[in-house]
Amino acid sequence: MILYDYVLSASCYKIRLMAALSGQKLELQAVNFHPAREHKSPEMLKLNPGGTLPILRDEDLIMTDSSDMLRHLTRNLPEWQGDDDGWLDFARTLNETLGMARLHDVLGFEVDIDAARKRGVHLLRLLEAHLTEQRFDGMIFLTGDTPTIADIACFPNTALAPDGGVSLDVYPSIRLWMRALRSLPGFIEMPGIHRLHELEAAE
Amino acid sequence: MSDSSKDHWYPVGLLSDIYTPRQTLLFDQEISLTHDDTGFVVKKSGGVSLPTIERFGHLWTSLGQPDHDLFVIPEADTPGRHLVDVGSVKVKCSPLRAVENFLDIAHFPFIHTDILGAEPHTEVDRYKVEIREGVNEVWATKVKFFQPQAAKSAEGGIITEYMYRVPAPTCAVLYKTCPPRPKEWDIITLFVQPLTEEWCEVWPWMALYDDDSTMAEMVSFQQLIFMQDRSILENQIPLKLPLDPGMETPTQADMTSVAYRRWLKRIGYSYGAQMVAA
Ligand SMILES: [Fe+2]
């Protein structure tokens, strides 16, 4: 499988993370998203007329939607499947709000930054409320006791919210959930998202 | 402000991005970048045109009266190098903080773990720091450090030798052992555009020998490295760079930083600096 990848993209990281956690190897093809906008180049548009990243290619199958990619990577792994549909949609809205705020703050994208942050905070409150409910029921992840593609889809843009000027300090349940994900075997990092350090784990 | 800060050249855009008009800030002032038949046009918001220089893949301008040309990097002109436009990243910190962090070799094992440094190889050996009077630049030479993966083209750990150079207040040049060509230096720069005193746009640029990596891979590698620095920079307190050396205790590894601060003080550079103890 080939992942057309941009190193700072939260959505590309989602796919790299899912592959790593499930022990699957991806061949990474770096795309110069910034500053060269190579994802809009004629060759890349041939692969994905929508001009977005990531793109996942498994032989003749070309996927351009990260939810499809997560489903594809876990199609034979029922332990990674749960009641995911609603959360995959939720992940999309996280990308449109917190994700865009981050692209604004880091790479200078033109975005209505106040609106993006405000909607992002609203989503974080919903996520916090749900994860708190889950904890009352003795569950740490979005759909149950173990992580599914719902968690992997929602994690990157949540964890990277501070890059877009949105603090996570006031969401204890989200922070616990992120710690649980960061301590999973096979977890990989990206700038702004670190694996759980030994000291932190012992706290 | 009566200091010399505005009388230098600053990077404000990429030459490879000429078709995109750009609105940006320089020293809290709005400026616009456009392109016409004669070339690049940089204007202040009132319509006054500013001088420009095209060099190192970037467009440079000045709001003041620079009495000098923009510095040169002769080594970058040797043939066969890949000139890499890394693109800009915005950071909420003083432009001087961004340069100071770039000069600090001791952070490699902790911030760029397993890429530019690794525990337990955290010591920095003695090296030489000087302010070169004739050219009025800060230089650190004979810097040696163990690196697990010093460049995209480096396999496995190597002892890497570095030279650091500060040729302008918000620009730093790193000369680094070049794995495929031991007699040459790879060149990695950090050009910083001051947006405000506590907000900057950082334009890394590189001139490398690397026949194994694609351009996208070289860009990705450097963006990854710089994003690791960004999270540190945004959490530094104070956001401005204190020029009073009494405020933070220097170690061997900080000698370049101390020289940099002393030099800024000497040339009267105060934008983004904290002159009095907080
Ligand atoms: Fe660094």
pLDDT digits (tens, 9 = 90+) for A40-97: 999 999 999 999 999 999 999 999 999 999 999 999 999 999 999 999 999 999 999 9
Q: Is B244 helix (H, G, I), strand (E, B) or coil?
A: coil
Which pLDDT belongs to residue A118? 98
What is the CATH classification number for the domain harbouring A90? Answer: 1.20.1050.10
Same domain, A137 and A195: yes
Phi, psi dihedral angles at B23 (to 5 degrees): -105, 130
Same domain, A137 and A196: yes
Handedness of CA B118, B119, B123, B125 (dihedral sign): negative
Give distance in angstroms: CA of A155 to centre of ligand 1: 26
Q: What share of chain A is helix, strand, coil (3-state, %, to 5)?
A: 55, 10, 35
CB pairs under 8 A between A and B: 56
Domain of A21 in residue numbering reads as 2-78
Question: CA gyration radius for chain A?
Answer: 17
Judged by average pLDDT, the poorest of A112-121, A161-170, B47-56, B155-164 is B155-164
Beta bridge partners of B241: B273
H/E element, A28: strand A27-30
A43, A78, A113 - which closes a domain: A78
Could you give the CA distance from residue A80 to residue A147 in angstroms, rounded to a whole number? 6
Instruction: Name the minimum distance, in Å, from the CA of A103 to any CA of chain B.
Output: 10
DSSP letter, residue B131: E
Neighboring chain B residues of A189 at a CB cutoff of 8 Å: none
Which of A21-35, A126-140, B71-85, B102-116 is predicted with the least confidence, judged by mean pLDDT?
B102-116
Q: Are B93 and B247 in contact (CB under 8 A)?
A: no
| Mean pLDDT, chain A, integer | 96
What CATH number does the domain containing A12 carry? 3.40.30.10
Tell if the pTM clears 0.90, that is, is over it: yes
Beta strands in chain B (DSSP E): 10-14, 22-26, 29-36, 39-44, 49-50, 52-55, 58-61, 82-85, 89-91, 128-132, 137-147, 158-168, 171-177, 185-196, 199-208, 241-242, 273-274
Mark whether A115 and A70 lie in a shared domain.
no
B257 CB-contact burial (10 Å; exposed 0-12 / middle 13-18 / buried 19+)? buried
Please indicate whether, in this complex, the C-beta atoms of B87 and A105 are within 8 angstroms of each other: no
A102 contacts A193 by C-beta, under 8 angstroms: no
Between vectors from CA B254 to CA B249 and to CA B256, what angle results, nearest 5°? Answer: 130
In the block, tokens 């046009």 appear at B41
Chain A CB contacts of B223 under 8 Å are: 7-8, 34
Task: Name chain A contacts of B12, Cβ cutoff 8 Å.
Answer: none
Report how far ligand 1's centroid is from the alpha carbon of B168 (Å): 19
- Rounded to the nearest angstrom, the gap between the alpha carbon of residue B155 and the centroid of all alpha carbons in its chain is 26
More confident residue, B153 or B165: B165
**Chain A residue with Cα closest to B233:** A163
> Both A111 and A71 in a single domain?
no
> Which of A2, A3, A6, A7 to mutate: most B Cβ within 10 Å?
A7
- Distance, CA of A13 to CA of A5 (rounded, Å): 8
Residues A68 and A89 in one domain: no
Model confidence band, residue B107 (pLDDT cutoffs 50, 70, 90) = confident
Of B157, B134, B135, nearest in space to B146 by CA: B157
Our CA-based measurement puts residue A3 at a distance from the nearest CA of chain B, in whole angstroms, of 14
Give me the residue label for tokens 């026949």: B211
Looking at the 3D structure of chain A, how many domains does it have?
2
Residues in chain B: 278
Q: Do both A84 and A42 map to the same domain?
A: no
Of chain B, the end-to-end C-alpha distance in Å amounts to 20
* Residue matched to tokens 């061949």: A27
pLDDT at residue B28, rounded to an integer: 97
Whether residues A106 and A186 fall in one domain: yes
- The complex scores an ipTM of 0.93
Q: What distance in Å separates the CA atoms of residue B20 and residue B10, rounded to the nearest whole number? A: 19
Distance from CA of A9 to the nearest CA of B (A): 11
With an 8 Å Cβ cutoff, are B224 and A105 in contact? no
A68 and A112 inside one domain? no
Sign of CA dihedral A12, A15, A18, A22: negative
Q: Hey, which residues does B205 pair with through a beta bridge? A: B85, B189
Residue to substitute from B89, B199, B210, B229, interface A, most A β-carbons within 10 A: B89
Of A162, A189, A186, which Cα lies nearest the Cα of A174?
Answer: A162
Gap between the Cα atoms of A64 and A41, Å rounded: 16
User: Taking a C-beta distance cutoff of 8 angstroms, is the pair A50, A23 a contact?
Assistant: no
Q: If you average pLDDT over residues B65-72, what whole number do you get?
A: 94
pLDDT tens digit sequence for B247-265: 566 666 688 998 999 999 9
The CATH code of domain B79-274 reads: 3.90.380.10
Contact B227 A192 (CB under 8 A): yes
